[in-house]
Structure 1
Amino acid sequence: MKPAPFEYARPESLDEAVRLLAADEDAKVLAGGQSLLPMMNFRLARPSVLVDIGRLPELTGLRREDDVLIIGAGVRQRAAETSQLVRRTCPLVGRALRHVGHRQIRSRGTVGGSLAHADPAAELCAAACALDADVVVTGVGGRRTIAATDLFLSPYETSLATDEILTEVRVPIRGNTRFGFAEITRRSGDFAIAGVAAALEFDDRTATGARLAGLGIGGTVRRLTEAEEALRGRALTAESISAAAQAAADSASPPDDLHADPATRRAALHAAAQRALEQVAHD
């Protein structure tokens, strides 16, 4: 199929991009286009104007400021995946990105675009929640910061206003933290039936903090608080891993759709949680 008719605009600044969005509530931001353009081709999305922000210098760059990793929203996923800075400070980002589609997709798709798209099976969305990341957005009213856990409202819906653009991701860098990421798919590159991103902080061998986020198990990615509670204050052993994986599966109310029934998704979530936490144990 072909998309419905639309106009195209390529602003030269972030301020101009925001003004274009504010002028038309049916305008959409185009970053990498790896999610939006297929939806347009199937006419699931019918924007009146595409506002192309792919070349705005304000949205590029990877840097560290004190104990925060800052990723520009326009950074290509492949660049973040292979970045030595990301690998040193927050390897969970790279581990999650390796599961996003195929390399060609990651070479065009952007970090901010994935978060703003808010796919319930998006690996970066789950990683952002597990990392306690914040996103900075810019609109006609200025800049504001949103916690990643407050960004995702429902499938493909976020708490961004129609005139706001996600401009950067801010990830806290914590010491004594280990990471894991796993997902269950039918084929490599497919959307996940279920997946888990995990970040655990340790004092000696005891998990003093646990943050797990699940993907592919409902209307949005979400924190797996029951599994987190099963891990806090305990050593990461085969028994505590098994208990947390079971708690994650028991807490899920996954959809029944053409990809998997609820029982299959719960089993996949259990397996993904087990694998992610085993990675943490060996990190």
Structure 2
Amino acid sequence: MILTEFDYVRPAGLDEALTLLSGTRGARILAGGQSLLPDLRAGADRAALLVDIRRLEELRGVTRTPDGTGLRIGSLTTLAELAADPLVLAEAPELAAAARANGDPQVRNLGTVGGNLAAAGRATDLPVAAMAADAEVELAGPGGRSTLAAEELAAGSAPAATVLTALLVPAAGPAAAFEKTADRATRYPVCATAVRITPGGPRIAVTGATSRPLRLRGVEDRLRGGPYGTDAVLAAFRAEPRELFVPGRGTSAEYLGHLVGVLTARALQRAERALDR
């Protein structure tokens, strides 16, 4: 039973979807539905109109960007497709690992890249991988196309009445990794971390242990140039303010700060080994 009434429409193209979203108060996008439909059933969310974009093939698939320096991942690409795509595995392995860690096979076969990135109020896996990759999202709205840093999207900066059409990811090669400790019941991350090792130093993003997905620039600065041994990484995390880590689900801030340090050390060491191959 769904505890809210709404209208439903399946637009034939992206332009029609944008017109519906901008012209109907309370219109919501339906893609994978893995977050929205459970919330509608529980009465935790409401919608006046569901705009079903699942058949918009222009929003699917993984290709290289026109300049050849990165990947363009359509927002309706499923998590299962993302986890298995050869280009993603070779050039953005932290994204493939984050997709593979998400939920169970049924969730991954239905859930989409755009939905996972835009999920509000949930600690999902893809945002930290996108942030560590220094990725951008491509948005379509009444005013045309625009891009927004994945970090800004995670902070809630996306304009209203826009559709997330693609994730734009700089290629990293193998020097990236993702690690997660999941809640056994929900598979949401108690703590997840994604890293990329770049010529300018490591990029590190975390979720679950923090109030929202965050780049940890203080830790990045302390680890610039290495080493990435566990002791060095844990020391870098101990220098972060304890209030950064939000206790919950029976865990303390102290525990979460240590856990995210251990997971980050593991991810950095895996990325470093891949870089040396």
RMSD: 2.0
Give me the identity figure in percent.
Answer: 34
Equivalent-residue separation in structure 2 for 1:60 and 1:116 (angstroms): 16
Q: Which residue of 1 aligns with 2:44?
A: 44
- Post-superposition shift, 1:257? 3.5
Q: Which residue of 2 aligns with 1:34?
A: 34
Q: Show the 5 A alignment for 1:48-197.
A: 48-65=48-65, 66-153=68-155, 158-174=156-172, 178-187=175-184, 190-197=187-194
2:266 corresponds to 1:254: no
Residues 84-109 of structure 1: CA deviation (Å, up to 9, x unaligned)? 11111111111111110111101000
Task: Report runs of 4+ in structure 1 exceeding 4 Å deviation.
Answer: none
Q: Which residue of 1 aligns with 2:267?
A: 276
Equivalent-residue separation in structure 2 for 1:107 and 1:280 (angstroms): 27
- Post-superposition shift, 1:119? 4.6
Equivalent-residue separation in structure 2 for 1:123 and 1:2 (angstroms): 27
2:140 aligned partner, one-letter code: T
8 Å Cα contact 2:152-2:158 kept in structure 1: no
Alignment CA distance shift 1:121-1:252 (3 Å)? farther
8 Å Cα contact 1:179-1:198 kept in structure 2: yes
Equivalent-residue separation in structure 2 for 1:102 and 1:236 (angstroms): 31
Ranges in structure 2 where 5+ consecutive residues have no aligned partner = none
- Post-superposition shift, 1:146? 0.2
- Post-superposition shift, 1:32? 0.4
8 Å Cα contact 1:80-1:86 kept in structure 2: yes
Secondary structure in structure 2 of the residue aligned to 1:195: strand
Residues 247-269 of structure 1: CA deviation (Å, up to 9, x unaligned)? 46x46523344453433322322
Alignment CA distance shift 1:236-1:178 (3 Å)? same
Count residues with an aligned counterpart.
272
More off after superposition, 111-120 vs 130-139: 111-120
Alignment CA distance shift 1:223-1:251 (3 Å)? farther
Secondary structure in structure 1 of the residue aligned to 2:189: coil
8 Å Cα contact 2:128-2:194 kept in structure 1: yes
Secondary structure in structure 2 of the residue aligned to 1:193: strand
TM-score, reference length from structure 2: 0.91
- Post-superposition shift, 1:233? 2.1
8 Å Cα contact 1:135-1:145 kept in structure 2: yes
2:4 aligned partner, one-letter code: A
